[in-house]
Structure 1
Amino acid sequence: MDIKGIGIINFFNPLLLLMFFVVSICANIEMLDDIDYRYELDDGEWEMVERKGNQFMIGGQPFYVNGFNTYWLMMLAVDQSTRGKVTDVFQQASSVGLSVCRTWAFNDGQWRALQKSPSVYDEDVFKALDFVVNEARKHKIRLILSLTNNWEAYGGKAQYVKWGKAAGLNLTSDDDFFTDPTIKGYYKTHVKTVLNRVNTFTNISYKDDPTIFGWELMNEPRCLSDPSGDKLQTWIQEMAFYVKSIDLKHLLGTGVEGFYGPSTQDRIQFNPNTFAGQVGTDFIKNHQVLGIDYASAHIYPDAWLSNTISQAHIQFVRSWMQSHIDDAENVLNMPVVFGEFGVSAKDGNYNQTYRDMFIGMVYNTMLNSTKRGGSGGGCLLWQLFPQGTEYMDDGYSIVLSKTPTTANILSLQSRRLQLFNSRCTWRCHWGCKKKSDLDLVFPLDDTM
């Protein structure tokens, strides 16, 4: 997420749909009360998340993601006085059944840097990341670990280029990150270091740890200097091959926002605006790379769309999600994960009522795919905070203890997905008799 965004939109609040949604939540929570969130025994061995066709799998059963982002976990784990916040957020996420957390496995050259300079690491910060992985495992939460940032927060590609310039390289743009051999070597060294890291709490190397759902090449990569998308495409190809040369066990994603590019002119209509098609990404092409296991897209209508009071945002979210789910199923034959979605509470148009409706709409669209056995692999809320960390709020944070209605929505989604995760095998592919009782819990609903 880059909170600067592309623009701001004011949202229309459809109260009738909201009332229907709230009543639906109340009716379903009681029905699902006896479902255990956990898909594996507490004392059992975890298995790696795998992909078969367009679905994630664990031990021969489907695994649909209901997750969250909390990017700062490693940073707060460094200091003993704030380390407890890491445990707090995992406890709260677990209490509503969230199964996957996306967080940073990088901090390049900044305060509490993991990588202080190319190939030079702070062992205390690495131990903090070890703690994060261990705490996630304790709470039965998988991790998507992103390996660097497109944005300047936590260093990212701009810091790599600064390091290159300091070493005497002739670099003219942050986008040289994607093409300069030395800079690419810096990134590869970081990848190798993280993947081969042996956790000081568990004595398990990261590349062998099933706590890790998968790796993400970069958070929201863009290459504005090349709207054709060729530079970024070549970089994804090279780095996907490199990651897989070290770790064939874990899944790998790109981290892109999902904008359609030049290779699919017929799909550009689904982009939020013209600029989105000129940032050097190309959703279909980016995910046809050998070694990429699942597709990535984000959802930020409040930052992407024009400042208009209308229902355009509702139709955009639906069409944006459905187009990516359809393409993942019909073209890519892989799951798609909406790795970030949210709306900012800093805009006065987005009260708690609207935010709950928006989250419910995203979940409902995902469930429609899940129920059909489609490519909707899951979505991750941006972002979950425990109490006492609101000073870092970018406007999107959700503190469950302060927002019980939101907690109920997350809990209901977790319970619904757990039915799918536990009651059908991949071979069944929704053709079994178990569909009938699933229909009673949540019939297909295209109204939200």
Structure 2
Amino acid sequence: MAALLLALGGCGKSSAPATAPEEKPADVVQVAEAVNEFVTVDGRTFSRQGKTYYVVGTNMWFGGYLGSEGAVGDRERLIRELDLLQRTGINNLRVLAASEQSELMRAVRPAIVTAPGEYSEELWAGLDFLLDEMAKRDMTAVLYFNNFWQWSGGMSQYVSWFEGTPVFDPDVTNEWNAFMQNSAKFYRMEEAQTLYRDIIKRVVTRKNTINGKLYNEDPTIMSWQLANEPRPGSDEDGRINFPAFKEWVHETSKYIRELAPKQLISTGNEGSMGTIRDMALFIESHQSEYVDYLTFHMWLKNWGWFDATKPEETYESALQQAKKYINEHVDVANQMNKPIVLEEFGAERDGGSFEVSATTVYRDRFYEEFFDLIHSHSASGDALAGSNFWAWGGFGRTQNADFMWQEGDDFVGDPPQEPQGLNAVFDTDASTLDVIKKHADKMSQLVK
């Protein structure tokens, strides 16, 4: 429990009238105020500071990197980014808290975990700076510890370390089912879980070097998230891994709860599409009492719903499939009586262009439709408690002809294994920013 800072005595002379109303002891008031600073779960909704809390967020996985004082950092840019996000109405950022040094072709460099048991204090200090600046703007953070995919090292790098084998690189082999099955070995590897828990403990109990706050006492951190898009494995063979996956979700969430009882816990899972396309397995793997709320993601291009080079032919069908996917997950969350957040969704620029100058007519249409549906569900009391679009590019730019990230380049939201500009929202995307701001304003009117 946080230390009580209210003094029981005071300077100067004062006297209360004999008929003064009964007041709660100062320590009780202080504790109540401190608890209310944290985002909590109230049935199907979030609550903060005694009011309903809706997530109007984005993914800014590189936030801690940008906050670093090292070569990859740019604190001046980070402050500009946060100021623009605040003006746009964003109140939540989803951020990477751990990455693994890897020979993977498309992994981000440098990494936070440089080798098993060795960590970059410089990059974690960048996360300190980010959280401190977010607190000044009354933003909250979702911090995730791992990655099912290759772009930050992730689970396959753990497997490589403890199997003593070369890391499985799907960008070289193009064997995605085999890659997913390889990543899923992570759940069953005792040495990997020991290292993973050491990282969790180091982050959760870390003392912020900027403001002195312990991370597990900082209400800026809304949620600890197990990983980015953890899956049981491939759609073809993942069922054999499901029992281990389910146990991992429960046991890891329980471990985090012991370290951070005041903060929420989520998985970072994509929903049914990330659980072997089986809603029943999604529900089963999220029934743990230590998983406070649900998450799901939605990818129009990756799932073959929308083709930006054939927008008129594919827009309407993609929109209907997207709405169906959203509604199905809201129905499940209602039944489970847990809030749910659409914490990843994105759309390409017109024509599939990666150029910052390209228009965003269809992206804006998708965003408007999704935001209207989110608002409608929230306003009606459903469990849909907000969203984080993917991803924030802000003032970042790529100079590469092939648009692929190279070490030393700006971070623009799209991870290193994807073209830079694929889904990023830049500071110059005025029409998209206007759509987001209008949604933020509408969601703020629901707060009560």
TM-score by length of 2: 0.75
2:43 matched to 1:53? yes
CA distance in 1, matches of 2:147, 2:273: 20
Question: How far off is 1:122 after superposition?
Answer: 1.6
Question: How far off is 1:346 after superposition?
Answer: 7.4
2:210 matched to 1:220? no
The correspondence of residues 357-372 of structure 1 with structure 2, limited to 5 A, is: 357-372=365-380
CA distance in 1, matches of 2:165, 2:56: 43
Partner SS state of residue 366, structure 1: helix
Q: Which residue of 1 aligns with 2:337?
A: 333
Question: How far off is 1:69 after superposition?
Answer: 0.6
Q: Which residue of 2 aligns with 1:312?
A: 317
Residues 75, 112 of structure 1: 8 Å contact kept? no
Q: Percent identity?
A: 24
Q: Which residue of 2 aligns with 1:71?
A: 61
- Partner letter of residue 75 of structure 1? Y
RMSD: 2.4
CA distance in 1, matches of 2:124, 2:324: 41
Question: How far off is 1:303 after superposition?
Answer: 1.2
Inter-CA distance 52–306: structure 2 relative to 1 (3 Å threshold): closer
- Partner letter of residue 124 of structure 2? F
Residues 301, 317 of structure 1: 8 Å contact kept? yes
Deviations 1:141-174 (A, max 9, x none): 1110011100111111011112212499xxx933
CA distance in 1, matches of 2:351, 2:98: 30
CA distance in 2, matches of 1:122, 1:191: 14
Structure scoring higher RCO (CA < 8 A, sep ≥ 6) equals 1
The correspondence of residues 14-413 of structure 1 with structure 2, limited to 5 A, is: 47-78=37-68, 79=70, 82-110=74-102, 111-166=109-164, 173-222=182-231, 223-224=233-234, 225-227=237-239, 229-259=242-272, 276-277=276-277, 282-305=281-304, 309-310=313-314, 311-330=316-335, 332-345=336-349, 347-348=351-352, 351-390=359-398, 392=412, 393-400=420-427, 402-413=428-439
TM-score by length of 1: 0.75
Question: How far off is 1:76 after superposition?
Answer: 2.5
Partner SS state of residue 149, structure 1: coil
Question: How far off is 1:351 after superposition?
Answer: 4.7
Residues 66, 100 of structure 1: 8 Å contact kept? yes
Question: How far off is 1:120 after superposition?
Answer: 1.6
CA distance in 2, matches of 1:182, 1:127: 27
CA distance in 1, matches of 2:210, 2:164: 36
Question: How far off is 1:305 after superposition?
Answer: 2.3
Question: How far off is 1:220 after superposition?
Answer: 0.5
Structure 1 residues 178-187 or 106-115, which shifts more? 106-115
CA distance in 2, matches of 1:117, 1:404: 42
State which structure, 1 or 2, has the greater radius of gyration over its C-alpha atoms: 2
Residues 49, 210 of structure 1: 8 Å contact kept? yes
2:445 matched to 1:419? yes
Unaligned runs of 5+ in 2: 1-32, 103-108, 167-180, 308-312, 400-411, 413-419
Residues 89, 385 of structure 1: 8 Å contact kept? no
Question: How far off is 1:104 after superposition?
Answer: 0.3
CA distance in 2, matches of 1:358, 1:261: 22
CA distance in 1, matches of 2:386, 2:378: 9
Structure 1 residues 94-103 or 157-166, which shifts more? 157-166
Question: How far off is 1:281 after superposition?
Answer: 9.2
Unaligned runs of 5+ in 1: 1-43, 263-275, 425-448
Deviations 1:186-241 (A, max 9, x none): 11111111101000001111111001111110100122243252221111111111
Partner SS state of residue 134, structure 2: helix
CA distance in 1, matches of 2:211, 2:446: 31
Partner SS state of residue 301, structure 2: helix
- Partner letter of residue 216 of structure 1? Q
Partner SS state of residue 156, structure 2: helix
Deviations 1:367-393 (A, max 9, x none): 111111110110001011222334542
Q: Which residue of 1 aligns with 2:12?
A: none
CA distance in 2, matches of 1:325, 1:134: 33
Structure 1 residues 80-89 or 320-329, which shifts more? 80-89
CA distance in 1, matches of 2:251, 2:429: 43
Question: How far off is 1:306 after superposition?
Answer: 5.2
Q: Which residue of 1 aligns with 2:11?
A: none
Residues 356, 405 of structure 1: 8 Å contact kept? yes
Deviations 1:99-141 (A, max 9, x none): 0000100121253221112222121111111111111112221
- Partner letter of residue 289 of structure 1? S
